[in-house]
Amino acid sequence: MFESKDTDTSSTTSKNTQSLSFHSSNITPAKIDWQMDDTGNKVPVSGEFGDVYFSNADGLAESRHVFLAHNQLPERLTNLAPNQCFTVAELGFGTGLNFLATWQLWRQLRDIHPQLATAKLQFITTEKFPIPLTDLTQILALWGQRAPELTTLIELLLAAYPPLIAGCHRLSFFDDNLTVDIWLGDAAESLAKLANNSSSSHVPYVDAWFLDGFAPSCNSTLWADSIFAQMQRLSRPNTTAATYSCAGIVKRALQDCGFQIKKVKGFGRKNEMLTAIMLDTINLTDNNNGNNSKDTNSKDTNSKDITSYNNTSTAAPDNDSQSAKPTDNLPAHSIVIGAGVSGLLTAWSLANRGIQVTLLDKSAPLAGASGNPRALLAPKMTPIHHVDEHLHTMGYLYSSRLYRCLNVDAKKSGLVPIVEPTGALDLLMKANIGTEQIADYPDEMATTLSHEQAQTVSGLKTQDLSENLYLPQSGLVNPQALKDTILMHPLIHFQQVDVKSISETKESVCIEGSNEDKQTISISADNVVICAAFESHQLDKRIFDCRKIRGQLSWFTPTTEQLTILPKIPLKYSGYCALFTAQTGDAQLNDVVEQHSQFLLGASFIRNDTDIDIRTKEHQISRDKLVTAIPEMDSIIPTDISLWQGRAGIRTQTPDYHPIVGVLADSKRIWVMSAMGAKGYAIAPICAEALTDMMLGTFAPLSTAMLARLSPNRTRLQTPLT
């Protein structure tokens, strides 16, 4: 008989898990029941599976014993080389307790070992039935009381916890050099999406697995062959695994996918648990031939005898062995060309992984399309069954988390906020989703307000607001504040250089260009990322020559009377408008009156026009768009537009509307991140993370299929625009 997660022999009834299979993009939140544990503490139980999330004896101690100690995390993390990244992958995020225990260990180790300052921890976890935030808050509040050392981490996790939408949600904790990728959806499907066909010389792999499904008798899906096949694909010699389960199918499956297993003392009432290590089959073969000096200290490492992996200290992974992750060839210095939102975010992602970045722009940071007074952070929506593979939604959620997290840092340093979390109301005049499809989304991501609520939040009086999309996590990004924060990173150095050419050798890249004094500048680095928007093609002809779409944004300073009647929240219709207060520093970038309210509206779309002069005609186009969509604005928005300010920029777009992110064909060192279309502030941050991961050989927060869709070398980009 299989054991339950908590007992050696269990009479737990197995529920019919077949009835719990849904479309992969539809997430079913966990149903939480409660019971008392052995020490009289309330502990959560899965309503679906009838099993406990963690041991009734002491979940935190169980986590530390089973997953941390028996993957040798204290030793392995301590021994990481500078800039080395260690990857943990977990099956079943549940309450996040394993993650919190790992995070706390990581913090402790980093506190006492200064050499870990630049090492990274990547925690990848999967969850098909995520716990709703309110339940999770309750569960973790109890842990906060029992284990005060977790309190701060619990707060940070809860603040970053994503809406329950299928797909990968990356949470970045920059101060701790920690990223967490929560893949919501079926674990086997999620693992299958992890890309390890890296375009760089570094291929991502998992260092340690936490196999923490409910007991196989309660839920077999996390112990299925498809899971173990993925484990095999994503592991390499010395990858370890640990699980509380000693069920026969687990032992056999681990062995069948190349792990050598060992039974050790389990936690609490459990006599046994399993640890495992992926065998180095090449060395094993050599060992058997008697011609390999690498001593695995096993009695018969090729056999599937579980007694053979019986000495943790000698069978544990060896960081110094030839199979240790090489950091020698990781790039140390990158050049990023173009300091718009793409270049800034690329520089930020690279610098946060310890790479020195020289950021170049021919004019100044934000000189191109990215330099508007404010950018609306909003997704292009999609029906929920596509959401997990929808760059705009996942990118928007990541951006929203990132900007809010940067706000916290900005506040601490007395700087202007990066995002004003206003929310936004879309009147669904140019949307590819209706209210029925919006209803499929969790309210914290997207919802439809009642007509009355919509009137209250917007301040509109006569408009029919019965159909709308309210985006609570939307907001107004302040590009100037974002730029200031990013440029403060000690590893990012900005230089004004108009880049004319890029040359690549086997060892390095070199750019040549001229500075503001027309002096020739040449800079070498390990690699280069071209973020020059529509001008990227001029720097390397392998980059698709994209569609160029001019856009002009307009704004004016409203009178006190207008202020009381202008929309109170950013609105989307066939264009968008928003009220904002110009902050200190804004006037360096645009003609705004600092500390005063400004009303912006836009934007025009003019194809194949790369002039950036300000046109009265386009102010008028934006005014017309607004009053056509919302007629009550006609009496509020001034008709005299002669005092309006504006800014024009060029959007860069591919024929398939996907950005271009990746390494160029036949190149090892020339990368590109471009074609952000009309949504750079929503999608550049996640694309920058994916690019950095591909460059460094760590797992990207986007699926293999998505990365292929973004590839600069994709088939759709082989035919030039006509």
Ligand X SMILES: Cc1cc2nc3c(=O)[nH]c(=O)nc-3n(C[C@H](O)[C@H](O)[C@H](O)COP(=O)(O)OP(=O)(O)OC[C@H]3O[C@@H](n4cnc5c(N)ncnc54)[C@H](O)[C@@H]3O)c2cc1C
Ligand Y SMILES: C[S@@+](CC[C@H](N)C(=O)[O-])C[C@H]1O[C@@H](n2cnc3c(N)ncnc32)[C@H](O)[C@@H]1O
List of residues contacting ligand Y (CB under 6 A) = 5, 30, 53-54, 92-98, 126-129, 186-187, 212-214, 219, 221-222
Which of 368, 379, 417, 575 is in the footprint of ligand X by CB under 6 A? 368
Q: What's the length of the chain?
A: 722
- 3-state SS assignment for residue 599: strand
Structure tokens at 563: 């202020």
Stretch that binds ligand X, among 21-29, 109-117, 532-540, 631-639 (CB under 6 A): 532-540
Touching ligand X, residues 576-635 (CB under 6 A):
602-603
The partner in contact with residue 158, picked from ligand X, ligand Y, none with C-beta cut-offs of 5 to 8 angstroms by kind, is none
Distance CA 704, CA 245 (A): 31
Q: How far is the CB of 95 from ligand Y (least distance, A)?
A: 3
Q: Which CB, 564 or 610, lies closer to ligand X?
A: 610
- 3-state SS assignment for residue 105: helix
Q: Which residues contact 38 (CB under 8 A, 6 or more apart)?
A: 56, 57
The partner in contact with residue 219, picked from ligand X, ligand Y, none with C-beta cut-offs of 5 to 8 angstroms by kind, is ligand Y
Q: How far is the CB of 350 from ligand X (least distance, A)?
A: 15
Q: Which of 548, 539, 531, 550 is nearest to 486 (CA)?
A: 531
The partner in contact with residue 498, picked from ligand Y, ligand X, none with C-beta cut-offs of 5 to 8 angstroms by kind, is ligand X
Q: What's the start-to-end Cα distance of the chain, in Å?
A: 67
Q: How far is the CB of 184 from ligand Y (least distance, A)?
A: 9
Q: Which CB, 89 or 347, lies closer to ligand Y?
A: 89
Which of 63, 71, 372, 407 is in the footprint of ligand X by CB under 6 A? 372
Touching ligand X, residues 665-704 (CB under 6 A):
674, 676-682
Which of 380, 651, 658, 669 is in the footprint of ligand X by CB under 6 A? 651
Distance CA 477, CA 340 (A): 14
Which of 91, 499, 509, 629 is in the footprint of ligand X by CB under 6 A? 499
Which of 68, 533, 600, 661 is in the footprint of ligand X by CB under 6 A? 533
- Token pair 């108009």 is found at 498
Rg over alpha carbons for the chain, rounded to the nearest Å, is: 27
Distance CA 659, CA 262 (A): 47
Is 654 an interacting residue with respect to ligand X (CB under 6 A)?
no
Q: Which CB, 6 or 420, lies closer to ligand Y?
A: 6
Distance CA 102, CA 110 (A): 12
Q: Which CB, 53 or 699, lies closer to ligand Y?
A: 53
Q: How far is the CB of 653 from ligand X (least distance, A)?
A: 9
Q: How far is the CB of 446 from ligand X (least distance, A)?
A: 17
Stretch that binds ligand X, among 125-133, 260-268, 350-358, 372-380 (CB under 6 A): 372-380
Question: Cis (ω within 30 of 0) for the bond into 603?
Answer: yes
- In single-letter form, the type of residue at position 124 comes to I
Distance CA 541, CA 538 (A): 6
The partner in contact with residue 653, picked from ligand X, ligand Y, none with C-beta cut-offs of 5 to 8 angstroms by kind, is none
Stretch that binds ligand X, among 326-334, 410-418, 548-556, 713-721 (CB under 6 A): 548-556
- 3-state SS assignment for residue 214: coil
Q: How far is the CB of 265 from ligand Y (least distance, A)?
A: 20
Touching ligand X, residues 374-403 (CB under 6 A):
375-376
671 secondary structure, DSSP code: E
Query: Cα–Cα–Cα angle for 91, 96, 102, nearest 5°?
Result: 85
Q: How far is the CB of 588 from ligand Y (least distance, A)?
A: 47
Q: How far is the CB of 142 from ligand Y (least distance, A)?
A: 12
Touching ligand X, residues 234-273 (CB under 6 A):
none
Distance CA 294, CA 276 (A): 19
Phi-psi domain of 83 (left: phi exceeds 0; alpha: psi -120 through 50; beta: other)? left
Q: Which of 335, 705, 316 is nearest to 503 (CA)?
A: 335
Distances in whole angstroms, Cα of residue 528 to Cα of each of 190, 652, 690: 31, 20, 15
The partner in contact with residue 245, picked from ligand Y, ligand X, none with C-beta cut-offs of 5 to 8 angstroms by kind, is none
Total binding residues for ligand X by CB under 6 A?
40
The partner in contact with residue 94, picked from ligand X, ligand Y, none with C-beta cut-offs of 5 to 8 angstroms by kind, is ligand Y
Touching ligand X, residues 302-361 (CB under 6 A):
337-343, 360-361
Which of 363, 466, 503, 522 is in the footprint of ligand X by CB under 6 A? 363
Q: Which of 555, 547, 654 is nearest to 606 (CA)?
A: 547
The partner in contact with residue 318, picked from ligand X, ligand Y, none with C-beta cut-offs of 5 to 8 angstroms by kind, is none
- Token pair 């990132």 is found at 402
Q: Which of 232, 39, 221 is nearest to 142 (CA)?
A: 39
Distance CA 195, CA 473 (A): 29
Query: Residue 519: how many CA atoms within 13 Å on its side-chain side?
Result: 6
Interacting residues with ligand X (CB under 6 A): 337-343, 360-363, 367-370, 372, 375-376, 498-499, 531-533, 535, 539, 551-553, 602-603, 649, 651, 674, 676-682
